Chain A
Amino acid sequence: QQPVQSPQAVILREGEDAVINCSSSKALYSVHWYRQKHGEAPIFLMILLKGGEQKGHDKISASFNEKKQQSSLYLTASQLSYSGTYFCGTEDGSARQLTFGSGTQLTVLP
């Protein structure tokens, strides 16, 4: 079952913050976040496994809610290099593969 990502697109100025959400109708085993730049491969950002987990590096972090049905990706003080399409990939307990959301296109302007 494909997770629902929101928003579909967001435009920011350098230094602004953004939040991207990923929701499922049932509890998940894990959530993976990827960023893809135009014409390139998706690049892995982070995995969340535990309900209530928060993790991050630099100014990009993510959370996984207690019920393990929603994850959010936080980009703070955005940089031009953050532009791209962000995908969440979710794994449920029965299927050991990822189902990707439709993506959120993030554009950071100078």
Chain B
Amino acid sequence: GENVEQHPSTLSVQEGDSAVIKCTYSDSASNYFPWYKQELGKGPQLIIDIRSNVGEKKDQRIAVTLNKTAKHFSLHITETQPEDSAVYFCAAPDANAGGTSYGKLTFGQGTILTVHP
């Protein structure tokens, strides 16, 4: 099955700095890589995702990059703000031999991001 490793486990930055969180995955057939943000007391919420046919995707201050050869993808947040403080999770699906299952989804261990004003 899929194995997803996420680093770092905690990240502390000053407001206005950039933050980068990296995930590696093991299943070379995986082709969908989402990032979720979890605020205190809430369920995770999708903030950005990328499919394997592109190498980078941006949405305002947030970007995700994908390196399929190295099997890693990263979340980049620029000009961080205090409201970016949250727990961030990456994930990757378990693609079965036929590449059509996608029922199972494996999450990384999470990164606690703290943005100091």
Are A and B co-members of a single complex? Answer: no
